Structure 1
Amino acid sequence: MIFSTTPTLQNREISEYLGLVCGMTYNINYSYKGTSFKDMFNMKKYYSKIEAAIEEVKETTFQKLSDNAEKLQADAVVGINVDMEISAGGAVMVSITGTAVKLK
């Protein structure tokens, strides 16, 4: 599966637009997973955990996007937009949308 944030692919021609596809993942327990009480106040470790959690949620979301595009028998997803939200309460939400297309 080819993913692109642009509406076209270089050296490839789009033959059919199949529709909008999306993937969304929400994780509320990322920041405290495997973190001791003492480590919660170590900002370097805290932000390292947040970074790892965001990466995990993002990868899961891209997999959901890919699965939804495959259901439409798409070759690629173009015009991808990634939205990410991190709440003060410790939740990470990633939403990815794009247009599923067939290539010539």
Structure 2
Amino acid sequence: MILTTTNSIEGFKITDYKGIVTGVAINEKKLAMSFSMSKYYKTVQEGIDATKETAFKTLTENAKKVGANAIVGIKVEIELMASNYAMVSVTGTAVSVA
């Protein structure tokens, strides 16, 4: 599966547009506050990284379900919710390329 934030893939031709696909994930662990800001930032970063990977996995699975072999125009949104949970939403256009 080819993933890109651009609207085209150099060396490939988009042969079919399958539709918009998404992947959303919420960090399962609450981001605990800490007296050490560096420890807090490290915890936030690790939580976001893990959540982002889960969101991309879901995005890829959803694209495969519609018969795509690539996703173009990917946008990533990261939100730290008021309850100290991280949410990552990934959206793109599932396509077939040759």
Q: Would the TM-score normalized by the shorter structure come out above 0.5?
A: yes
**Contact preservation (8 Å) 2:6, 2:74:** yes
> Any unmatched runs of 5+ in structure 1?
33-38
Give aligned-pair identity as a percent. Answer: 41
Distance 1:28 1:89 in 2: 12
Distance 2:63 2:14 in 1: 15
**Contact preservation (8 Å) 1:25, 1:60:** yes
Q: 1:81 aligns to what?
A: 75
Q: With structure 2 as the length reference, what TM-score do the two structures score?
A: 0.93
Distance 1:102 1:59 in 2: 23
Q: Give the count of matched residue pairs.
A: 98
1:54-93 matches, cutoff 5 A: 54-93=48-87
Please, what is the CA RMSD of the aligned residues? 1.4
* Larger Rg, first or second structure (1 or 2): 1
Distance 2:63 2:82 in 1: 32
**Contact preservation (8 Å) 2:27, 2:48:** no
Shift of 1:26: 1.5
> Any unmatched runs of 5+ in structure 2?
none
